[in-house]
């Protein structure tokens, strides 16, 4: 991508972000019927780098929404209920924020990273 098209720099832990995308993509795929589209993308929104994972699945009701990210919370027969708990920890370590847009037509998880003017305190290992 040309430098001008990507004006913001964000420092990420590659392994952790890979894990986050995998956990969210697996959830999205599991929530959809065959033929649904899973979209993974990145954008700059209000000066902040944002990663998003969008599915066309069944969505989350208010009760579910209030419980996701709680360790061991699952609605799946063989779920551990750890996928999103791990994602929330990874996001917190990156000083990022998760927002969820959901409806019976699908769900988008938005992960907003701090912009380059915000204090960046991700520990370098
Ligand atoms: N994209 C989504 N669409 C609909 N429901 C979702 C979505 N993502 C998560 N959920 C709901 O949130 C619950 C918790 O998700 P989480 O990833 O934490 O655990 P899990 O998928 O059940 O198990 P695992 O530990 O294998 O990931 C799921 O059981 C599911 O009910
Ligand atoms: Mg999961």
| pLDDT tens by residue, 42-74 | 999 988 999 999 999 999 999 999 999 999 999
Say if ligand 1 is within 6 A of residue 80 CB. yes
Query: Going by C-beta distance under 8 Å and a sequence separation of 6 or more, which residues neighbour residue 63?
Result: none
Where does residue 88 fall: left (phi above 0), alpha (psi -120 to 50 degrees), or beta otherwise? alpha
pLDDT band at 9 (very low <50, low <70, confident <90, very high): confident
Q: Are 53 and 21 a contacting pair, CB within 8 Å?
A: yes
Q: pTM of the predicted model, to two decimals?
A: 0.90
Question: How many Cβ atoms from other residues are within 10 Å of residue 60's Cβ?
Answer: 19
Q: Whose CA is nearest to atom 8 of ligand 1?
A: 27
Quick one: which of 111, 92, 13 has its CA closest to 53?
111
Residues 6-21 have a mean pLDDT of 88
**104 CB near ligand 1 (under 6 Å):** no
Residues present in the chain in total: 125
Domains of the chain: 12-112 (3.30.565.10)
Task: Report how far ligand 2's centroid is from the alpha carbon of 36 (Å).
Answer: 17
């Amino acid at each position: 991508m040309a430098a001008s098209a990507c004006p913001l720099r964000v420092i990420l832990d590659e392994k952790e972000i890979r894990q986050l995308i995998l956990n969210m993509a697996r959830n999205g795929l599991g929530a959809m019927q065959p033929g649904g589209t899973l979209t993974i993308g990145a954008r700059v929104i209000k000066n902040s780098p944002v990663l998003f994972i969008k599915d066309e699945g069944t969505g989350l009701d208010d009760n579910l929404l209030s419980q996701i990210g709680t360790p061991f919370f699952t609605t799946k027969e063989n779920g551990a209920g750890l996928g999103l708990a791990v994602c929330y920890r990874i996001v917190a370590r990156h000083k990022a924020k998760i927002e969820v847009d959901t409806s019976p037509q699908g769900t988008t998880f938005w992960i907003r990273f701090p912009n380059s003017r915000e204090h960046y305190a991700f520990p370098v290992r």
